[in-house]
Amino acid sequence: MKPAKSRGTVPTAAPRSVASRELLDLRWNYPVHAIEKATGSEHGTGVEARREALPREKAIEVLAGNDPRPLLVLRECTVCNKTDDALLSSNGSNERTLVLARFFRCVKLPVDVVDPNHPFNALFPTNEAEHLFVALRDGSAKKPLESDTSRTELWSAMEATLAATYGIDAYKVTRLVLAGLDRVDECERKFTQLETRKGQLMETPNVDVAKVKSVDVDLETAKKDVAEARAAVTRLFQVEVKVPAAGAAR
């Protein structure tokens, strides 16, 4: 059999464990504006709700929701439609990007956002608009980015936004997170090996039950280690915003 061609797998420097991949998971939001104006609509009767572009301030407000984090907004396009190409690199490690992204509210808008009637068109008015931007949650301090933006520029823009929002040294936090993930990987691998070993023993006819019990004891310890390692990384992601985000978008 040939190696897997995993379109959905984000390239990272080294294979990470399940737990680490979950912690690094890029969690996109996919806003649908019709919901916000659905009250009193005639959905289901065959009459389409009117679709119109929101003013930029309102569009930003809808994207930000109640989330205090800064914004990372990406538009899909017909060229890089299949992937997160505008944000992630296909030929290098994305771990630093993924860690930084966890501190943002990541929003992905559809291809037709460039349609003048699309509710979020004000953010990407034409096909000439950038593919991605980061900004404070009120839309200020916007930094337009492209898929061919260098990693250094991308990280610099993300880290500057994080510094303004959280007052953190994002580079330092990233290093701590990656070290924490290494520990998670180590614990998770040990746990998985033990769990598999236990299963194999249980399914082997006429096994010595004492062997299973022995693995069970080790398994309990390994389980606690995994939980502690995961919790340590989770704590690093739990940073409060420096000041309450203010007012209208600019």
Establish if 49 lies at the interface with other proteins (CB under 8 A): yes
Shortest Å, Cβ 249 to other proteins: 22
Establish if 76 lies at the interface with other proteins (CB under 8 A): yes
For the beta sheet containing 143-145, the strands, ordered from the edge strand earlier in sequence to the opposite edge, are 28-29, 105-109, 71-75, 132-135, 143-145
Establish if 126 lies at the interface with other proteins (CB under 8 A): no
Establish if 127 lies at the interface with other proteins (CB under 8 A): no
Binding part of the chain for other proteins, among 9-17, 134-142, 175-183, 239-247 by CB under 8 A, reads 9-17
Q: How far apart are CA 50 and CA 44, in angstroms?
A: 14
Q: Are strands 71-75 and 105-109 parallel, antiparallel or unpaired?
A: parallel
**Residue of 13, 14, 207, 227 interacting with other proteins (CB under 8 A):** 207
DSSP state of 201: H
Shortest Å, Cβ 202 to other proteins: 5
Q: How far apart are CA 90 and CA 102, in angstroms?
A: 19
Closest CA to 108 of 92, 93, 120, 90: 120
Establish if 35 lies at the interface with other proteins (CB under 8 A): yes
Cβ contact 115:150 at 8 Å: no
Find the helix or strand (DSSP H, E) in which 210 lies.
helix 209-237
**Residue of 40, 46, 244, 247 interacting with other proteins (CB under 8 A):** 46
Which residues make up the interface to other proteins (CB under 8 A)?
1-9, 15, 17-19, 21-22, 28-32, 34-35, 43-44, 46, 48-49, 51, 76, 78, 81-82, 108, 110-112, 192, 195-196, 199-200, 202-207, 209, 212
